Structure 1
Amino acid sequence: MNTLIKSICKGMVFGISSLMLTVTSHAETKAPQAVEKIDLQQYIGKWYEIAHLPNYFQRKCASNTTAQYGVNTDQTISVLNSCRTATGEMISSIGVAYPKNSGNSKLKVSFLPKGLRWLPFTKGDYWILRIDPDYKVALVGGPNDKYLWILSRDAKIDEATYQSYLNTAKNYGYDVSKLIKTPQ
């Protein structure tokens, strides 16, 4: 009987400890937050994708993924995403991003033809979650953990910088074990 009670107590202690560890690890993460403000003139231009979470619309991309941003006359942002497929073909997608906050760090992006962009639920979130002061590396995601990209002005970044951006993503609750590094 004494052994049974000890086993039950050990099980309870283990269960409580596991629960506390789970609560503690979740307490360390927080919902993704866009930076307060970006300088759009510094942000526009060409970015290389360093890594991304798997997603449907990039299923054909195998390497050389880039994003080119510009400012349109109506203050929307032009988007040209390009990549190389496994067969070596370069493909691209043209879209437009609409600023959703005064700091231009939260955008809604659509890749639909211009005449269909009015449709509800056809724009994806594009939040700049972190950007270095020199606008050389950026972490982009959204209000949930569905999409994530690490972008750089250079085709490669050093491991310390990469790990630092991974840590930021982890703190926002992203499962960085699923990130795919992009060959450039």
Structure 2
Amino acid sequence: MHRLAAALLLLLAACTAPPSGITPVRFDPDRYLGTWYEIARLDHSFQRGDASATATYAANPDGTIAVTNRGWRPDGTERSVEGTARFLGDRNTASLGVTFRWPFEGGYHVIRLDPEYRIALVSGPTRDYLWLLSRTPTLPEPVIADWLETARRLGYPVDRIIRSQPPPA
């Protein structure tokens, strides 16, 4: 039984740790709170078909972070999911485990963040998960190219990136 528990813990840790060779940035979690617009992403089943998306983060009294993800289909249909993020280590390291449906937890690692907290590049537990987020619904094309080049240099398959549209008004 102890082996099974140990194996399960190892499996769960593998779902939250950053990809090998990726170091999450240092950050001020309070400055990161608020709404972020998805500019681009690598596609996954939980977002498949979304034309646009936002993520909103708010502080919980227990020190965790409330997460609300909203997505819109091309026809304007909206869907949302709420979850909780916990720090995987130091509160000032942008490495969190996010749970939308217990006991499943996924990694959320900010790997590049502009000094003004306007743009973030976020990885999941493997290089198959990547989001480019912004405080605004759009970014200039040269800015997007620069941030995606960072991801490419880090080994992410940016040739598979899906560009998001601004959410409906």
The amino acid of 1:51's aligned partner reads A
2:123 aligned partner: 141
Deviations for 1:59-116, whole angstroms, at most 9, x for unmatched residues? 14122x100001100110100000111332111010111111212410000111xxxx
1:79 aligned partner: 67
4+ runs deviating over 4 angstroms: none
> 1:46 aligned to 2:28?
no
In the superposition, the TM-score normalised over structure 1's length comes to 0.76
In the superposition, the TM-score normalised over structure 2's length comes to 0.82
- Alignment check: 8 A CA contact 1:95 1:111 kept: yes
2:108 aligned partner: 126
**Structure 2 counterpart SS, 1:58:** coil
Structure (1 or 2) with the greater strand fraction = 2
Structure 1: stretches of 5+ with no match in the other structure: 1-29
> 1:33 aligned to 2:15?
no
2:145 aligned partner: 163
User: Following the alignment from structure 1 to structure 2, what is the Cα–Cα distance between the partners of residues 69 and 181?
Assistant: 22
User: Following the alignment from structure 1 to structure 2, what is the Cα–Cα distance between the partners of residues 143 and 96?
Assistant: 17
> How much has 1:143 moved relative to structure 2?
4.3
Structure (1 or 2) with the greater helix fraction = 1
Percent identity over the alignment? 38
1:18 aligned partner: none
Distance verdict in 2 for CA 1:127–1:142, change over 3 Å: same
User: Following the alignment from structure 2 to structure 1, what is the Cα–Cα distance between the partners of residues 28 and 73?
Assistant: 32
Structure 2: stretches of 5+ with no match in the other structure: 1-19
User: Following the alignment from structure 1 to structure 2, what is the Cα–Cα distance between the partners of residues 143 and 67?
Assistant: 18
